[in-house]
Amino acid sequence: MTTALLTDHYELTMVQAAMKAGTAQRRSLFDLFTRRLPEGRRYGVVAGLGRAIEAIDNFRFGDEEIAFLLTNDIIHDELAEYLANYRFTGDIWGYPEGEVYFPGSPVLSVEGTFAEACILETVLLSIYNHDSAIAAAASRMTAMDGGRSCVEMGARRTQERSAVAAARAAYVAGFTSTSNLEAGRTYGIPTIGTAAHSFTLLHDTEEDAFRAQIAALGENTTLLVDTYDVEAAIRLGVELTDGRLGAIRLASGDLAIMARQARDLLDDLGATSTKIMVTSDLDEWQIALLQGSPVDGYGVGTSLVTGSGHPTCGFVYKLVARAESEEPDAPWVPVGKKSKGKNTLGGRKFAMRRLGADGRAETEVIGLGTPPANDGNDRELLVPIYRGGELVYTATLDDARRRHQESLAELPLSARRISKGDPALETLILDAEGDETTNPYQAAPIVTNI
Region 114-143 residues binding a copy of itself, contact defined as CB under 8 A = 114, 118, 121-123, 125-127, 129-131
Nearest approach in angstroms of CB 82 to a copy of itself is 13
Question: Which residues within the stretch 321-380 sit at the binding site for a copy of itself (CB under 8 A)?
Answer: 322, 335-342
In angstroms, the CA 372 to CA 350 distance is: 10
DSSP designation for 250: E
Complex with a copy of itself: residue 182 or 296, whichever CB lies closer: 182
Reduced to 3 states (helix: H, G, I; strand: E, B; else coil), residue 438 is coil
Least distance between a copy of itself and beta carbon 335 (Å): 4
**x-or-dash string of contact with a copy of itself, 152-171, rule CB under 8 A:** -xxxxxxxxxxxxx------
Which stretch in 1-9, 352-360, 367-375, 408-416 sits in contact with a copy of itself by CB under 8 A? 1-9
Footprint of a copy of itself on 229-288 (CB under 8 A): 229, 251-253, 279-282
CA distances from 340 to 171, 183, 321, 334, 443 (A): 38, 42, 20, 18, 11
Q: Lay out the sheet containing 149-152: strands in order across.
A: 177-178, 149-152, 297-300, 275-278, 247-250, 222-224
Residue 396 DSSP one-character state:
-
Pattern 48-87, binding to a copy of itself, x per CB under 8 A?
Answer: -------x--------xx--xx--x-x-------------
Binding part of the chain for a copy of itself, among 23-31, 140-148, 351-359, 406-414 by CB under 8 A, reads 23-31
Instruction: Tell me: does residue 306 bind a copy of itself (CB under 8 A).
Output: yes
CB within 8 Å of 208: residues ≥ 6 apart: none
Q: How far is the CB of 411 from a copy of itself (least distance, A)?
A: 27
- Is 440 near a copy of itself (CB under 8 A)? no
# of chain residues touching a copy of itself (CB under 8 A):
115
The minimum distance between CB 390 and a copy of itself, in angstroms, equals 24
Nearer to a copy of itself (CB atom), residue 11 or residue 426: 11
Please give the backbone phi and psi of residue 92, each rounded to the nearest 5 degrees, phi first.
-135, 135
Nearest to 301 by CA among 180, 156, 434: 156
What is the C-alpha to C-alpha distance for residues 297 and 431, in angstroms, rounded to an integer? 48
Q: Which is nearer to a copy of itself, 306 or 427 (CB)?
A: 306
CB-neighbour burial class of residue 93 (10 A; exposed 0-12, middle 13-18, buried 19+): buried
Instruction: Give me the 172-211 binding string for a copy of itself, x by CB under 8 A, dash otherwise.
Output: -------xxxx-xx-----xxxxxxxxxxxxx----x--x
User: Strand locations in 324-369, DSSP E?
Assistant: 332-334, 349-355, 361-368
